[in-house]
């Protein structure tokens, strides 16, 4: 059994440990990580999975701008402890938080991940919809989901963290490898 609850301040260290277990240190070089530099995650959408008082899963969201002015969310990282994968925790975390994001009025969610996993939630190719990443990313893994009808209509351009400057986006292009 597990419970999904809002992330608490005391979860921070356990979350970093979990992310290390799931992604290793390579995660810091990915474009999706670089985008989050100098950006504060959205507390209302950060949730954890708890089982027997231990943290077994985490999901976080970050504010983005697409193009010049369209607000969007970056989903990630999401991680489920290797011993607890395949129990439905990941799917539950994503559905719960996407529904919450929609209810809070958010309209678009972007992520980098396996399309085979995320298509069940409504994610489709972001590149094919005119979105771009400010650094290397496997084209088929760059995904976007509409939370409100026609939210992608007329939206295109580079994705960047909501507090990033153009200079920071250029730095990301220069220094990032992988997605």
Contact positions vs ligand COA (CB under 6 A)? 22, 78-80, 85-91, 113-114, 116-117
User: Which residue lies nearer to ligand COA by CB, 25 or 153?
Assistant: 25
User: Which residue lies nearer to ligand COA by CB, 85 or 168?
Assistant: 85
Minimum gap (Å) between residue 148 Cβ and ligand COA = 23
User: Which residue lies nearer to ligand COA by CB, 84 or 171?
Assistant: 84
Minimum gap (Å) between residue 86 Cβ and ligand COA = 5
Give the number of other Cβ atoms within 10 Å of residue 86's Cβ. 8
In angstroms, the CA 85 to CA 75 distance is: 19
**Could you tell me which residues come within 8 angstroms of residue 147 by beta carbon, excluding any fewer than 6 positions away?**
98, 101, 102, 106, 107, 108, 109
The four Cα atoms 103, 147, 145, 40 give a dihedral, to 10 degrees, of -40
User: Which residue lies nearer to ligand COA by CB, 6 or 88?
Assistant: 88
Minimum gap (Å) between residue 72 Cβ and ligand COA = 17
Minimum gap (Å) between residue 54 Cβ and ligand COA = 15
- Nearest alpha-carbon partner for 58 in 34, 40, 75: 75
């Amino acid at each position: 059994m597990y419970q999904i609850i809002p992330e608490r301040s005391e979860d921070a260290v356990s979350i970093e440990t979990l992310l290390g277990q799931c992604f290793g240190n390579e995660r810091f070089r990915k474009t999706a990580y670089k985008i989050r530099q100098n950006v504060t995650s959205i507390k209302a959408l950060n949730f954890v999975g708890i089982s027997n008082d231990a943290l077994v899963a985490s999901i976080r969201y970050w504010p983005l701008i697409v193009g010049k002015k369209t607000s969007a969310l970056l989903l990630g990282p999401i991680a489920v402890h290797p011993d607890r994968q395949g129990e439905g925790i990941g799917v539950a975390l994503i559905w719960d938080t996407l529904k919450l994001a929609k209810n809070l009025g958010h309209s678009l969610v972007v992520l980098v991940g396996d399309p085979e996993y995320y298509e069940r939630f409504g994610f489709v190719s972001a590149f094919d919809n005119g979105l771009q990443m400010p650094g290397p990313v496997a084209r088929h893994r760059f995904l976007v989901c509409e939370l409100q009808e026609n939210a992608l209509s007329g939206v295109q351009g580079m994705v960047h963290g909501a507090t990033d400057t153009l200079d920071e986006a250029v730095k990301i292009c220069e220094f990032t490898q992988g997605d």
